[in-house]
Amino acid sequence: MSKLNIGIICGGNSSEHKISLSSAETISKFISDEKYNVYYIGITKSGEWYLLGDRKYILNDSDWETNPNNKPAIISPDTSTKGIIIKNKNEIVTIKLDAVIPVLHGKNGEDGSIQGLLQLSGIPVVGCDMTSSAACMDKVITNTMLSFNKIEKAKFHWFTKYDFEKNPEKCVEETELALKKYPMFVKPSKAGSSVGISKAKNKDELIKAIKIAAKEDEKILIEEAIVGKEVECAVLGNDELIASVVGEISPSGDFYDYDSKYISEDSGLHIPARISEKTAKEIQKIAKKAFKIMGCKGLSRVDFFVENETNRILLNEINTFPGFTEISMYPKLIEKSGYPLPKLIDKLIELAIKKEL
């Protein structure tokens, strides 16, 4: 059987550029060279695209962009190409792709941008399509859709950056009226890996947090603080879904922010989570329901709170291309369902190609 040509896109014009490179490095270690011809496409922080001349440069955030063997390359939106267009000295070379793994987190990658390009190109894409990626990236849309479908969420309120700049007093007053009490979590509606998120314990901190969130996005989301366990469930599949064992996060900081996820070594992971079997089964059920409501395909990590006093299960957010490093929760959780990384990568590629049939 001939090998499949697989493109792996990493880096990106995003605050999560470095995490993307780490995720791509992990995939590069476990993807089968016997089954696939793998082409690594790196996107610089300024948005330039290159076919990487040497995959060992993926992880080195400072050096890969200057590798002299890199070649300018783009994904063509033309369906007659269905692949990469490469500028090689004075000639243009085309490589057809059977599927692409968009190993991109956050803006300009996990928000439907790349998925839309690949949809135009006719190349199967691992993971969610443009619509579901965009909807899940926008926390206001996610909260609205899930609440409408009777999936319990923390109380929330939102407004635009324009609204706040025009009348900050009104925005603060309406937030306090909607959520009733402090502390509150302030988030940019579209940002990944907890970038721009702050915990506000009073009005002054709320105003400061809103200004921080507004640097990342036009929409600002404010949610009530939930005191409870932070748990996560990995979902795999297109229509027939597998929901993994539930894992639990013990953040090193006040909450599971960027540093807790990727920098601090003090955050704890508990697999399985320290919750009852009944609660775990309910979380798995809700995770699959939310995955379908949001139109997800392939993979997503669904994050929850389990409130301490009431044991209520509250869905926090859905990550359509979660971190894929060796210490990331998604691969750790789904491995417990019989999918170690080499098998998981094979399955995701299979699901992407089946989606298009």
Q: State residue 41 phi and psi, 5-degree precision.
A: -110, 115
Contacts 24+ apart (CB under 8 A), 266-269: 269/329, 269/332
pTM: 0.92
**Is the pLDDT at 356 greater than 80, yes or no?**
no
The residue among 92 and 326 whose pLDDT is bigger is 92
Give tens-digit pLDDT for 303-315.
999 999 999 999 9
Question: Average pLDDT, stretch 91-98?
Answer: 95
Contact 254, 334 (CB under 8 A): no
**How much of the chain is in helix, strand and coil states, percent to nearest 5?**
35, 30, 40
The residue among 187 and 268 whose pLDDT is bigger is 187
Question: Average pLDDT, stretch 205-216?
Answer: 96
Q: Band the pLDDT of 264: cuts 50, 70, 90.
A: very low
**Is the pLDDT at 266 greater than 60, yes or no?**
no
Give the per-residue pLDDT at 346: 98
**Is the pLDDT at 99 greater than 70, yes or no?**
yes
Contact 261, 323 (CB under 8 A): yes
Q: Band the pLDDT of 109: cuts 50, 70, 90.
A: confident
Question: Average pLDDT, stretch 176-193?
Answer: 91
Q: Which of 299, 319, 302 is nearest to 151 (CA)?
A: 302
Give the per-residue pLDDT at 263: 47
Question: Average pLDDT, stretch 148-173?
Answer: 98
The mean predicted confidence, pLDDT, of the chain is 92
Asked whether the bond before 331 is cis by omega within 30 degrees of 0, the reply is no
Report d(CA 71, CA 87) in Å as an integer. Answer: 6
Give the per-residue pLDDT at 185: 97
Report d(CA 244, CA 231) in Å as an integer. Answer: 12
Q: State residue 95 phi and psi, 5-degree precision.
A: -120, 120
pLDDT above 70: percentage of residues in the chain = 92
| Cross-strand partners of 324 | none
Q: Is 181 exposed, middle or buried (0-12, 13-18, 19+ CB in 10 A)?
A: exposed
Domains and CATH numbers, the chain: 4-125 (3.40.50.20), 136-152+227-356 (3.30.470.20), 156-224 (3.30.1490.20)
Residue 297 tokens read as 């395909």
Q: Band the pLDDT of 62: cuts 50, 70, 90.
A: low
Residue 178 tokens read as 């909607």
Report d(CA 19, CA 14) in Å as an integer. Answer: 10
